[in-house]
Amino acid sequence: MSEQKVVPFKTNAGVSHALTERLLQKGRDYGLTAIFPFGIEKIVVAEWVHLKCRYGCSRYNTNWCCPPATPNPDKVRAILSEYATALLLVGSKSCADFYLDNGHKRIAQVRCWKGTILLERMLFLRGYYKAFSLVGECCALCKTCAYPEDCRFPQEKRPSVESFSIDVIGTLKNLGTTTTVSTQTCEAFSYYGLESRGELLTVILDKIYQE
Ligand code: SF4
């Protein structure tokens, strides 16, 4: 099979500094503090991530943005091969309720989710027509997901980063960021997201890893 060629819509130059700044300006409303571009090849896809979704996660088979409704690792690798560049979004927030399943946590999740999709749309409207978001955790737009019935907000439905079998810590290490997992609910934490550019993939990794 011949190697698939990535065909950029604009140029290989990707997102300009000015556009990155504009994205960040908007992203600040949603808690972002920085955006960094990087090559898609730095994203680590691992079978064990899928295993963790399948065994041990209460969300498995309960949400449109989690497995088995999302692509398997092989499909994910094929999807990523169609992209060249992503943007790492960095934010920080304090959410003592992160490990709890309550309204406070859900408000924070929905805020991140909507911010991610908003940036994806900004990129799309500027010609980055392949821009696509992967968001952190599972979709919390509804208190209880309609799965397996029809999604109530299909235009905002996106797969989660984990559901794409992306090894978040491995990817961050590839990007030269040292992280540890927060172990206490009272800890402040940093979170990371990836936003695509050029022939883009938009990936959000808003996770609870403490620097
Ligand atoms: S928008 Fe609602 S129904 Fe659709 S995936 Fe999210 S939680 Fe589920």
Instruction: Give residue-wise pLDDT tens across range 124-170.
Output: 888 888 888 888 778 889 999 999 999 999 999 999 888 999 998 88
Closest residue by CA, ligand 1 atom 8: 145
Regarding the beta carbon of 147 and ligand 1, being less than 6 Å apart is answered yes
> In DSSP terms, which residues pair with 191 in a beta bridge?
91
Regarding the beta carbon of 139 and ligand 1, being less than 6 Å apart is answered yes
Residue 156: both structure tokens together: 């905002």
Q: What is the DSSP letter of 53?
A: H
Could you identify the atom of ligand 1 that is nearest to the CA of residue 146?
3
Q: Are 203 and 116 in contact (CB under 8 A)?
A: no
- Tell me the torsion sign for CA atoms 105, 106, 107, 112: positive
- pLDDT given for residue 76 in this prediction: 94
Chain mean pLDDT for the chain: 76
Residue 137: both structure tokens together: 């955790």
Regarding the beta carbon of 98 and ligand 1, being less than 6 Å apart is answered no
Q: How far is the CA of 163 from the centre of ligand 1 (A)?
A: 15
Regarding the beta carbon of 145 and ligand 1, being less than 6 Å apart is answered yes
Q: How far is the CA of 64 from the centre of ligand 1 (A)?
A: 6
Instruction: Give residue-wise pLDDT tens across range 41-80.
Output: 889 999 999 999 999 998 999 999 999 999 999 999 999 8
**CB-based contacts of 133: which residues, under 8 Å, 6+ apart?**
116, 117, 119, 120, 158, 195, 202, 203, 204
Regarding the beta carbon of 151 and ligand 1, being less than 6 Å apart is answered yes
Residues 91, 97: Cα–Cα separation, whole Å: 17
Could you identify the atom of ligand 1 that is nearest to the CA of residue 154?
4
